[in-house]
């Protein structure tokens, strides 16, 4: 686990990345199941696909079966047009719509997404079949600490949520958008005083930041995006066989937390590019949910925190959204 406010942190390398697009097979014979997995072609997406493949192999082996997983690489328009801001292309949902289309039209049997990129409102023909154990939910400031940024410091982030929360802490900061894969963003980091990235992405790709100043932002400082650090696996709602296989990959505590957060986002309208955040954690035998709605410029940040029974997580997430929108003034902040 990463520590807060680290300087020149040495990041762990918990997983190796396979860049092979060839099918991976465990075992063989009549009990072998073939699955086609849709994914983007970026390094992080391929790590996600490989990780899910490993989980599928382990689950199949435990059941005395084997599985053949074939990657279906989908080059999305968002990956091809790095010159266009994400919000101008319809928001982060553009990263998943073309992946979902591959499942819907039968080119693939399942798709794996970064949870924070998946809109809360998705095609009714698809179902979230599994949420594996969640990774690090936190954001990371690379290049400086928040307090160490100079007056009027220049910070690069393409996230309106990150911008709003940083601006609320440091109204003097200047922000610019930043697109590209993780390596590209780090290459561009020297042009700014700091950039903001997801801790899970850096860990999963095994990227060393031991030559940079790094501050890991705890949720109390920067509330994560809905489902940040989680992987979400979708398949067709009528594909019973695939749903049953994927059920073994579901990590129940992570699923409860992600479902509560996504219910909050759905009640707000389902857009993962809003200046909002939510983070649910298992707290004893229940859930604790923290949520916020902010003005895009960070001048106002509305917060709510509640505890509830695990079974009431989604209802509580929706109630928090309604409170922040209707009672606390969030609708005006979001221009509604």
**Residue 20, exposed/middle/buried by CB under 10 A (0-12, 13-18, 19+)?**
exposed
Structure-token pair, residue 83: 């010159």
Q: Which amino acids are annotated catalytic?
A: 117
Residue reference for tokens 């762990």: 12
Among 3.30.160.40, 3.20.20.190, 3.30.70.3270, 3.40.50.12780, name the CATH number for the domain at 264-325. Answer: 3.30.160.40
pTM beyond cutoff 0.85:
yes
Domains of the chain: which residue ranges? 24-132+230-250, 139-217, 264-325
CATH class of residue range 139-217: alpha beta
> Exposed e or buried b for every residue in 59-82, given b needs 16+ CB within 10 A?
bbeeeebbbbbbbbebebebbeee
**Residue 225, exposed/middle/buried by CB under 10 A (0-12, 13-18, 19+)?**
buried
Structure-token pair, residue 138: 């936190």
Are domains 24-132+230-250 and 264-325 of this chain identical in fold? Answer: no
The 10s digit of each residue's pLDDT in 123-178 is 999 999 999 999 999 999 999 999 999 999 999 999 999 999 999 999 999 999 98
Cβ atoms 320, 292 nearer than 8 A: no
Residue reference for tokens 């992405």: 201
Rounded Cα distance, 260 and 281, in Å: 10
Residue reference for tokens 């690489």: 73
Rounded Cα distance, 91 and 70, in Å: 29
The 10s digit of each residue's pLDDT in 203-220 is 999 999 999 999 999 999
Predicted local confidence at residue 32, as pLDDT? 86
* Pick from 331, 327, 324: nearest CA to 302: 324
Structure-token pair, residue 166: 């940083």
Q: In which residue ranges of the chain is pLDDT below 70?
A: 1-30, 77-93
Predicted local confidence at residue 183, as pLDDT? 86
Rounded Cα distance, 162 and 196, in Å: 8
HSE at residue 113, side-chain half, CA atoms within 13 A, is 32
CATH of domain 24-132+230-250: 3.40.190.10
The 10s digit of each residue's pLDDT in 9-29 is 223 322 222 333 333 444 455
Tally Cβ neighbours within 10 Å of residue 126: 17
Predicted local confidence at residue 307, as pLDDT? 98
Cβ atoms 289, 278 nearer than 8 A: yes
Predicted local confidence at residue 80, as pLDDT? 60
**Residue 297, exposed/middle/buried by CB under 10 A (0-12, 13-18, 19+)?**
middle
Structure-token pair, residue 27: 């075992």
């Amino acid at each position: 686990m990463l520590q807060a406010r680290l300087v020149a942190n040495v990041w762990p390398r918990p997983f190796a990345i396979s860049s092979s697009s060839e099918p991976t097979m465990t075992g063989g014979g009549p009990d072998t199941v073939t699955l086609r997995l849709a994914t983007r072609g970026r390094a992080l997406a391929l790590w996600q696909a490989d990780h899910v493949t490993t989980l599928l192999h382990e689950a199949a082996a435990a059941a005395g079966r084997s599985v053949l997983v074939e990657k279906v690489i989908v080059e999305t328009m968002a990956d091809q047009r790095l010159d266009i801001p994400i919000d101008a292309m319809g928001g982060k949902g553009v990263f998943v719509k073309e992946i979902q289309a591959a499942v819907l039209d039968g080119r693939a049997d399942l798709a794996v997404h970064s949870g924070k990129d998946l809109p809360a409102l998705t095609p009714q023909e698809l179902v979230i079949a599994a949420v594996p154990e969640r990774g690090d939910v936190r954001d990371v400031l690379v290049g400086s600490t928040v307090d160490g940024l100079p007056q009027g410091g220049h910070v690069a982030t393409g996230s309106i949520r990150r911008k709003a929360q940083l601006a609320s802490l440091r109204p003097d900061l200047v922000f610019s958008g930043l697109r590209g894969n993780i390596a590209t963003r780090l290459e561009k980091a020297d042009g700014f005083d700091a950039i903001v990235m997801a801790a899970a992405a850096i860990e999963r790709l095994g990227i060393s930041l031991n030559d940079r100043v790094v501050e890991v932002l705890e949720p109390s400082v920067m509330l994560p995006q809905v489902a940040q650090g989680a992987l979400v696996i979708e398949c067709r709602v009528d594909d019973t066989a695939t749903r049953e296989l994927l059920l073994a990959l579901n990590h129940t505590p992570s699923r409860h937390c992600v479902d509560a957060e996504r219910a909050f986002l759905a009640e707000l309208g389902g857009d993962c590019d809003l200046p909002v955040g939510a983070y649910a954690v298992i707290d004893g035998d229940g859930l604790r949910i923290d949520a916020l709605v902010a003005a895009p410029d960070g001048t106002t940040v509305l917060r709510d925190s509640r505890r509830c029974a695990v079974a009431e997580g989604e209802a509580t997430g929706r109630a928090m959204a309604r409170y922040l929108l209707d009672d606390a003034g969030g609708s005006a902040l979001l221009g509604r």
